[in-house]
């Protein structure tokens, strides 16, 4: 696949918008509640991804997360050029989401919660946060494979279930690691705030959790069946078939 293929433009736009929504809604909820309402913050993140997955997941596959894209790459459901393009779009969307938040809230409100940059919990270590990110991302990607990739599962509720998993994860782990589960969720606010403390936690943790879940579900539970094409691939093939018929 050529990454300059015009068929790649629409999926990249969707991936950027999805990451934008996650950061804008999720970090926005943290600013609005000053981090004092975990349920509201969890719902904002979960609804952002769940609704975006249901609205446009059929166009790009609904990754919205470099860790998810990595899981799809190691299970042979996306090729390297497309994966790289997806990650760039996700990071750009997340950065844009954080940037727009700067235009919506006063400095005093944003800075009081550090623009929602994920952080290691009080009296906890980076190791604690790393393990939490691995576990939380594992369950997120496991649910993604179980509801959106495995064709035996009805797809009508996949976005809702993925969003609920994010909500569950944030309620369980936000006080330990910020429950990012997504390098892009850390990246956007961190760039704006110039906050680099323990940055590796939100790259390494989600990557390990995503790969473990993806390989377990794809290669063991599904028996290594990677012939099931992603939504993005199906969309592109249908476009090409339609063009051929014309």
What is the mean pLDDT, run by run of 10 residues, along the chain of 246 residues?
Answer: 68 98 98 97 98 95 97 97 98 98 97 97 97 98 96 87 98 98 98 97 98 97 66 47 41
Return the pLDDT at 243: 41
pTM of the model: 0.89
Long-range own/partner contacts, residues 99-102 (CB < 8 A, 24 or more apart): 99/188, 99/192, 100/20, 100/24, 101/23, 101/24, 101/27, 101/28, 101/31, 101/189, 101/192, 102/192
Return the pLDDT at 245: 41
Q: Which two tokens stand for residue 177?
A: 């690691």
Return the pLDDT at 152: 87
Least Cα distance to 230 among 2, 48, 61, 10 occurs for 61
Return the pLDDT at 236: 45
Q: How far is CA 97 from the centre of its chain?
A: 14
Burial annotation 2-40 (CB, 10 A radius, 16+ → b, else e): eeeeeebebbbebbbbbbbbbbbbbbbbbbbeebeebee
Return the pLDDT at 188: 98
List, in order of start, the domains of the chain with CATH numbers: 6-230 (1.20.1080.10)
- Tell me the C-alpha distance between 120 and 123, whole Å: 9
């Amino acid at each position: 696949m050529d990454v300059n293929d015009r068929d790649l433009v629409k999926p990249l736009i969707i991936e950027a918008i999805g990451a934008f929504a996650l950061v804008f809604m999720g970090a926005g909820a943290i600013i609005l509640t000053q981090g004092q309402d975990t349920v509201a913050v969890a719902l904002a993140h979960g609804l952002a991804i769940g609704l975006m997955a249901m609205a446009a997941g059929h166009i790009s596959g609904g990754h919205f997360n470099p860790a998810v894209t990595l899981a799809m790459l190691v299970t042979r459901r996306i090729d390297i050029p497309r994966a790289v393009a997806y990650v760039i779009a996700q990071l750009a969307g997340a950065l844009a989401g954080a940037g727009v938040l700067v235009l919506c809230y006063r400095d005093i409100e944003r800075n009081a919660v550090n623009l929602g940059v994920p952080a290691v919990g009080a009296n906890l270590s980076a190791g604690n946060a790393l393990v939490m990110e691995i576990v939380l991302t594992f369950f997120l990607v496991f649910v993604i494979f179980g509801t959106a990739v495995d064709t035996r599962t009805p797809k009508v509720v996949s976005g809702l279930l993925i969003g609920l998993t994010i909500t569950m994860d944030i309620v369980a782990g936000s006080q330990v690691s910020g429950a990012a589960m997504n390098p892009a969720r850390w990246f956007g606010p961190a760039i704006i705030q110039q906050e680099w403390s323990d940055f590796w936690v939100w790259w390494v943790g989600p990557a390990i959790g995503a790969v473990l879940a993806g390989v377990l579900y794809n290669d063991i539970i599904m028996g290594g069946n990677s012939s099931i094409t992603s939504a993005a691939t199906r969309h592109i093939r249908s476009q090409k078939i339609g063009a051929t018929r014309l």
